[in-house]
Amino acid sequence: MGSYTEEPQFKTITVKEVHPTFAAEIEGVDWKNLSEEQFNEIFAALAKYGVVMFRNTGLDDASHVEFSRRIGDLDTMRRYMTNGRTPRYEFYELFDAGNIDDQGGVLDPNSPRAHYGKGNQLFHVDSSFNPRRASYSLLRAVELPPLGNGGNTDFADSRTAWDDLDPEFQNELLKQDYVVNHSIAQSRKQGSPEFFKDLDPTNGGQMSRHKLIQKHEASGRMNIYIAAHSHSIEGLPKEQSDALLKKLLDHVTQSKYVYSSEWRNVSDMVIWDNRCTLHRANGGAYEGKFRRDLRRTTVHDTSPTAWGLNKVITNTEEWVVNHNATAAAGNTQVSVKA
Ligand code: OGA
Ligand code: MN
């Protein structure tokens, strides 16, 4: 997707703002026969709002994947299909963000797989730990817990959070031009410290390197690219690095920058831009009780900073599956959520 720095005009869709600074719900999409014009309007809305929710899309696995392919190259599950693992879905492009166990029941919150997923409840961006980061994620509801049992997806507006920083602090960050190391092990450890007590993100695992402060190409606005996967800032002593990452994550995820999006119907779908927003699974009473089946496609970024400072490895099957074989046995598809 290109850039949309001008104020968008919407002719084929209705865009309803749901938060003072970002996020919208879009109505009027013809999912069965989506015109080029409508497609472009959706992505103009995404450039501006960062997160867009569509109700009752009627999409199924095949049409979800088909629509996603129209956006760009998709990440796939292929590299995780080692050691006899079999894909959960017909489409390798679908990532499981739900809580269904291998027998079709509700995942036990104390199971190893649940622990692997706990980092998902911390604010993050998808795939910052991969050599090539993700641009858009498209998450669709297949089965939802009864309303009132939690399970929202929360989003944070990291562009406005940047805008609101003290200009002196902004200048300092721009001058330092920090590079952050991202690791899936970092968010796992934060998400379930006891379970992952022996997991050390610095112990041979892959770190992916991305600039902390970046221009979001699609909107021309500046963004703080930070996530629960952010392990360390290069060149800073650990204490300083930890403190600055915490300060910025705390800043970005203040409630005034957060929108909590409620899932209401099967086939609701939300698209977010990982390059200008963070998100998390909110959790809730449904955990351990009700099935929540959400499936995600993930689009490879094509912006100038897609690869950050990482070595370009275009065959994603060669990407390292980080810390896949750590303490917990029974990990099936869980390494791939965030
Ligand atoms: C994801 C994710 C959050 C949720 O699919 O990338 O973080 O609410 N999901 O399930
Ligand atoms: Mn995620």
Question: Ligand 1: residues within 6 Å at CB?
Answer: 97, 120, 126, 137, 139, 153, 279, 281, 294, 296, 337-338
* Beta carbons within 10 angstroms of residue 30's beta carbon: 10
- Which atom of ligand 1 is found nearest the CA of 120? 7
Q: Of 80, 184, 74, whose CA–CA distance to 136 is shortest?
A: 74
| Mean pLDDT computed over 2-25 | 92
pLDDT above 50: residue 216: yes
- Which atom of ligand 1 is found nearest the CA of 296? 5
pLDDT band at 115 (very low <50, low <70, confident <90, very high): very high
- Which atom of ligand 1 is found nearest the CA of 294? 10
Percent of the chain with pLDDT over 70: 94
Question: Residue 297 C-alpha to ligand 1 middle, in angstroms?
Answer: 11
With residue 173 as reference, give the H or E element that holds it.
helix 167-176
Burial class (CB in 10 A: 0-12, 13-18, 19+), 47: buried
Rounded Cα gap, residues 123 and 198, in angstroms = 23
Nearest CA to ligand 1 atom 6: 338
| Mean pLDDT computed over 258-270 | 98
| pLDDT for the residue 1 | 63
pLDDT above 60: residue 164: yes
| Mean of all residue pLDDT scores within the chain | 93
Q: Of 119, 98, 127, whose CA–CA distance to 321 is shortest?
A: 127
Q: For residue 229, which ligand has an atom nearest its CA?
A: 2
| pLDDT for the residue 186 | 96
* Beta carbons within 10 angstroms of residue 220's beta carbon: 12
With beta carbons less than 8 A apart as the criterion, state whether 3 and 44 touch. no
| Mean pLDDT computed over 303-309 | 97
Return the residue matching tokens 């104390």: 110
| Mean pLDDT computed over 197-221 | 93
Q: Of 5, 4, 27, whose CA–CA distance to 16 is shortest?
A: 27
Angle at 288 between CA 284 and CA 290, to 5 degrees: 80
With beta carbons less than 8 A apart as the criterion, state whether 23 and 51 touch. yes
Percent of the chain with pLDDT over 90: 86
Question: Residue 283 C-alpha to ligand 2 middle, in angstroms?
Answer: 13
| pLDDT for the residue 85 | 84
- Which tokens hold the place of 289? 């009780």
**51: helix, coil or strand?**
strand
| Mean pLDDT computed over 227-251 | 98
| pLDDT for the residue 324 | 44
Question: Residue 262 C-alpha to ligand 1 middle, in angstroms?
Answer: 13
pLDDT above 60: residue 149: yes
| Mean pLDDT computed over 29-43 | 98
With beta carbons less than 8 A apart as the criterion, state whether 155 and 277 touch. yes
Pick left, alpha or beta for residue 143 (phi over 0 → left; psi -120 to 50 → alpha; otherwise beta).
beta
Nearest CA to ligand 1 atom 10: 281
Angle at 186 between CA 230 and CA 130, to 5 degrees: 65
Instruction: Write down all domains in the chain, each with its CATH number in brackets.
Output: 14-330 (3.60.130.10)
| pLDDT for the residue 3 | 73
Rg (CA), the chain: 19
pLDDT band at 80 (very low <50, low <70, confident <90, very high): confident
Q: Of 326, 324, 266, whose CA–CA distance to 294 is shortest?
A: 266
| pLDDT for the residue 84 | 82
Longest CA span, the chain:
55
- Please state the pTM of the whole predicted model: 0.94
- Which atom of ligand 1 is found nearest the CA of 137? 6
Rounded Cα gap, residues 167 and 49, in angstroms = 23
With residue 187 as reference, give the H or E element that holds it.
helix 184-191
Rounded Cα gap, residues 116 and 104, in angstroms = 18
| pLDDT for the residue 322 | 55
pLDDT above 50: residue 87: yes
Question: Mind listing the pLDDT tens digit for each residue in 201-211?
Answer: 988 778 999 99
pLDDT above 80: residue 151: yes
| pLDDT for the residue 59 | 98
pLDDT above 50: residue 37: yes
| pLDDT for the residue 330 | 33
